[in-house]
Structure 1
Amino acid sequence: MAVGGTDEISAVLRRAVDTYLDHLTVERALAVNTLASYRRDLDRYVEWLAEAGVKDLADVSARDIAGHVAALRSGAPALSASSAARAASAVRGLHRFLLLEGLAPNDPSREVKPPSLPKRLPKALDVDQVARLLAVPDGSGPLGMRDRALLEFLYGTGARISEAVGIAIDDLDLTGRHGMVLLRGKGGKTRLVPMGSYARSALDAYLVRSRPALVTNGRGVPAVFLNARGGALSRQSAWTILRKSAVRAGLPVDGPTGVSPHTLRHSFATHLLDGGADIRVVQELLGHASVTTTQVYTLVTVDKLREVYATAHPRAR
């Protein structure tokens, strides 16, 4: 909210903000751009307080702060979820600082729940990147054939890594062109998922030409994916296989855009929705209890639609 004039904002509020920003500048050495963002957020906050008739920090209540936080998303202009969360964080930081410095009698922001950020997914790979990743295992030896089957299985079924390493021979049905697998998800829930012809072929090759050799090194465990000693492949080892393959494929493995244990699962869901799959079908394939969980993926495809529109339509720019 904006106020009619700057005189309506009390000197006490302005001095409190200046003191806090001086602290951030000298003691925390924040970047200039970060400080500028904090200044904008806190100027907006004291304007809100002034319009609400609050002239002293001792009079600020949790209700005042909650009202300001709510207005961040509903005002004109409304802030994005991430910007609103940052602004709320600046307000909480101000009140904590003032209490610690003895400049305010209490911290009313402790009673206010911060705005939640929308769940963010690791970036999905595009189809070409997936192809590069899946082509990395050479498939010539027992472990190479296992690695190729594992990666094809993860992308072909959308399974979590923990689900993939948990499947047993009896969970597979390799009849037909695509085949089916019984996956055991969170909470012990099971679901049947088709695996695609590429995953089926890679599994066929692994089960016939590779797994028997690995079994002889162990005690005949029923797990589909085995380690070099014949035991069940662990989740950590499966993640290592994925990470090493990503490095060899020239894909990032660190940072927010790096390949993660769930990258192929996210890519599976995104590519299905991009291809026109119904969200309820994708929900079933992923094993989500609620479609609201699956709807996170629709945000990714909407971004894709915007990108395509912006680059393809003659009057989009």
Structure 2
Amino acid sequence: MEGQATELQLAVEKYLNFLTIERGLSRNTVDSYARDLGKYCTYLQEVGVIAPAVITKKQVRDFATHLAEVPGKGGKPLSARSVARIVVAVRGFHKFLLLEKITETDPAAAVNPPTIGTRLPKAVPVESVTKLVESPDISTPTGLRDRAILEFLYSTGARISEVINVDLDDLSLPETAAGSGGNRSGAVRLFGKGNKERIVPVGSFALEAIENYRVRARPGLAAHGKGSAALFLNARGGRLTRQGAWLILKKAAERAQLTEEISPHTLRHSYATHLLAGGADIRVVQELLGHSSVTTTQIYTKVTAETLREVFASSHPRAR
């Protein structure tokens, strides 16, 4: 807003700095908090509130109701999931204000986000993943890069933000082990939420695709830039952006003519689901995904159980 910042806006800025510096949240996550709390500030200013200390529980409840009932940019009210996310951001903000003694009470403590149904991750069949990763034209430098990115996403279960931030030095590409029958194993260092580091194995298909890209394509792309340490480069020789990676995935799905909805998280979901279906221990999958709690990973066990029920229902003569 124009003019001098209000006391409320200054408090929000202080909270966002706390999330960035003290909590170590990523830029994208902090930006999401900023957007959600921006909606909150706008609403409060419209009802005449510009200082945190005078906010009441009723005003917080009215804001939650406002989010659920007032049409947004698309002409429809926000989904329960979006409302819940914003309410959680507001609750975190007020908890921070109380802990920092900026306010004496927490008006949001008793305001709960709306109940939402559990949305199970959507995994795609292995056959569809194969079509997806094999769709780029590897006779071109960008095709080699795109193939390497897709193989890397599915081989590691990495978040898209983790993939674009991988540097060449984060990769470990060992020699073929003697007596291993030609099997190769590698690893990559990933930095997840809160800049938490983990080491994740990289499979042989991804290793081969990455090696082809590094030798045959990356030098040409790098020549257009100023010497980036990033593994995956754009056409200008700089680090590939999140939007660029999304576009690569979208085009690959179109070329593969997949009917499933494909996103970077689709491959992450598929990675976890296929591991569990293959007998992997849930705590191992937890470590591979970088989840701080096994509870977060357990949602994938529901996906596997649902798949088993579907197979049973369609295959057993007495299932129906």
**TM-score of the superposed pair, with normalisation by structure 2:** 0.61
Quickly say closer, same or farther: Cα 1:159–1:281, change in 2 above 3 A. Answer: same
> Given residue 315 of structure 1, which amino acid in structure 2 is its aligned partner?
R
Query: Where do 1:284-295 residues align within 5 Å?
Result: 284-295=287-298
Give the corresponding residue for 2:204.
197
Helix, strand or coil: the match of 2:264? coil
Query: Where do 1:1-317 residues align within 5 Å?
Result: 113=112, 116-176=115-175, 177-252=184-259, 258-317=261-320
> Given residue 285 of structure 2, which amino acid in structure 1 is its aligned partner?
V
Decide whether the 8 Å contact of 2:155 with 2:202 is kept in 1: yes
The one-character-per-residue Cα deviations of 1:103-127 (angstroms, maximum 9, x if unpaired) are xxxxxxxx88466224414421101
Q: State the Cα RMSD in Å.
A: 1.6
Decide whether the 8 Å contact of 1:158 with 1:286 is kept in 2: yes
Decide whether the 8 Å contact of 1:239 with 1:261 is kept in 2: yes
Decide whether the 8 Å contact of 2:187 with 2:202 is kept in 1: yes
Helix, strand or coil: the match of 2:319? coil
| Separation (CA, whole Å) in 1 of partners of 2:248 and 2:114 | 38
Quickly say closer, same or farther: Cα 1:289–1:277, change in 2 above 3 A. Answer: same
Decide whether the 8 Å contact of 2:142 with 2:217 is kept in 1: yes
**TM-score of the superposed pair, with normalisation by structure 1:** 0.62
* CA deviation after TM superposition for structure 1 residue 178, in Å: 2.0
Unaligned runs of 5+ in 1: 1-84, 86-110
Quickly say closer, same or farther: Cα 1:237–1:121, change in 2 above 3 A. Answer: farther
| Separation (CA, whole Å) in 1 of partners of 2:120 and 2:283 | 19
* CA deviation after TM superposition for structure 1 residue 312, in Å: 2.3
The one-character-per-residue Cα deviations of 1:104-158 (angstroms, maximum 9, x if unpaired) are xxxxxxx884662244144211011001101110111110100000000000000
Helix, strand or coil: the match of 2:204? helix
Quickly say closer, same or farther: Cα 1:114–1:190, change in 2 above 3 A. Answer: closer
| Separation (CA, whole Å) in 2 of partners of 1:282 and 1:117 | 26
| Separation (CA, whole Å) in 2 of partners of 1:189 and 1:114 | 28
Decide whether the 8 Å contact of 2:121 with 2:300 is kept in 1: no
The one-character-per-residue Cα deviations of 1:46-85 (angstroms, maximum 9, x if unpaired) are xxxxxxxxxxxxxxxxxxxxxxxxxxxxxxxxxxxxxxx9
Sequence identity of aligned pairs in percent?
A: 62
| Separation (CA, whole Å) in 2 of partners of 1:207 and 1:114 | 47
Helix, strand or coil: the match of 2:275? helix
Helix, strand or coil: the match of 2:253? helix
Runs of 4+ aligned residues of structure 1 deviating over 6 Å after TM superposition are: none
Decide whether the 8 Å contact of 1:122 with 1:258 is kept in 2: no
Unaligned runs of 5+ in 2: 1-79, 81-109, 176-183
Quickly say closer, same or farther: Cα 1:172–1:138, change in 2 above 3 A. Answer: same
> Given residue 148 of structure 2, which amino acid in structure 1 is its aligned partner?
A
Helix, strand or coil: the match of 1:262? helix
Decide whether the 8 Å contact of 1:270 with 1:297 is kept in 2: yes
Decide whether the 8 Å contact of 1:217 with 1:229 is kept in 2: yes
| Separation (CA, whole Å) in 1 of partners of 2:309 and 2:114 | 26
Decide whether the 8 Å contact of 1:122 with 1:260 is kept in 2: no
